[in-house]
Amino acid sequence: MTKPRLGLPDWGVGVGLRVPHYRRIFAERPSVDFFEIISENFMLGGGRPRYHLERALESYRVVQHGVSLGIGGPEELDGEYLKRLKALVRRTGTPWVSDHFCWCGSGGAHLHELLPLPFTRELVSKIVERARMLQDFLETPFALENTSSYLTYKGSTLAEWEFIGEIAERADIGLLFDVNNVFVTSYNHGLDPVEFVNAVPAERIVQIHLAGHTHFGTHIIDTHEGHVTDPVWDLYRLTLERTGPVSTLIEWDDAIPELEVLLAEADRAKAEREHALAARSAGISTLDASALARLREAARARPNPAESGEEHGWKQGGPRESAAVDGETDSDRAAE
């Protein structure tokens, strides 16, 4: 039987270590369960970034999170990048290191974006092989994060939760489960966020991300700006009711607020976490049937496609695809 969190520690609720807060963090040393760092910002051997990292390590626990691995890309992983990453892992003592289910570029060009993947069996096998190799090379537990999505591929044959769950199981790695990304992707593609949360292997979730987003009505962008929204708090509690206590991070990377605001958001996460874990211990849920229905409605979840005879028993697509299904074409939209 797989242990909860793969046997990794629960570090409570942390925040991202970001430049605008350096002065106050190092002067005041506020109480923070842990800081998450973006690995690539600290992979050079010296300079100001490493100086500030050393200052953080004097007083705080640090977890590493990457944004440039591109594990699903068309080319093999960059060996020099992996060597620098391993050196940083050894310095920080991070209990796990994570990156994203994505690709980032091709042909020597790095696009600095977390680009979505086609959910196919072929790509599952490729990522499984790479993730196993990477975890062995780093000699540290490895986890991958579900990304937010704004387009899909006609060639996909799996639902996203099937794709990430199968990779985690076969590669024997962890999941960094971003519940804000679950909501953003569900809204953009008409998925059921409750089914998403319930379908992933809960015991493999080693960390959770929470963040704000920007809502444009027709779609949502994962901007990491603003407070966590109520539907995302609901998904957070629902996730913890399945997993038990899991290290949680507040991401706030755009329009970064004063430190007090960020720490208050972390305190809110602690309260939501306690609520969910108390419900779990009592064998109940914080969300009744009506609350789950409101959550699905907030995400614009479509009725179960399996009942309508769709090919894969699920459906992904954004507002344009939905409009086309309803009989509206791009030409119709352009004529409005």
Question: Tens of pLDDT along 85-134?
Answer: 999 999 999 999 999 999 887 777 776 788 899 999 999 999 999 999 99
- List, in sequence order, every residue forming a beta bridge with 144; answer none if it has no partner: 99, 175
As a whole number of angstroms, the distance between CA 284 and CA 196 comes to: 20
Residue 318 lies in a domain: no
Residue 222 lies in a domain: yes
Looking at residue 303, its pLDDT comes to 65
As a whole number of angstroms, the distance between CA 231 and CA 326 comes to: 26
Spans of the chain below 50 pLDDT:
305-336
As a whole number of angstroms, the distance between CA 138 and CA 116 comes to: 25
As a whole number of angstroms, the distance between CA 25 and CA 18 comes to: 10
User: Within 13 A of 218's CA, how many CA atoms are on the CB side?
Assistant: 7
Rounded (5°) CA angle 166-115-226 = 100
Looking at residue 169, its pLDDT comes to 98
Torsion (CA) 70, 123, 209, 50 in degrees, nearest 10: -20
Count of domains in the chain? 1
Residue 143 lies in a domain: yes
Looking at residue 124, its pLDDT comes to 98
Residue 285 CB partners (closer than 8 Å, separation 6+)? 238, 241, 279
Residue 308 lies in a domain: no
Return the residue matching tokens 């004097």: 58
- State pLDDT tens for residues 283-329: 999 999 999 999 999 998 876 544 444 443 334 444 434 444 444 43
Residue 172 lies in a domain: yes
Q: What CATH number should be reported for the domain holding residue 130?
A: 3.20.20.150
Residue 174 lies in a domain: yes
Residue 17 lies in a domain: yes
DSSP letters of 88-151? HHHHHT-S-EEEESSEEEETTEEEEEEE-----HHHHHHHHHHHHHHHHHHTS-EEEEPPP-S-
Return the residue matching tokens 């489960």: 177
Domain residues for 55? Answer: 4-303
Residue 285 lies in a domain: yes
Looking at residue 202, its pLDDT comes to 98
Looking at residue 108, its pLDDT comes to 76
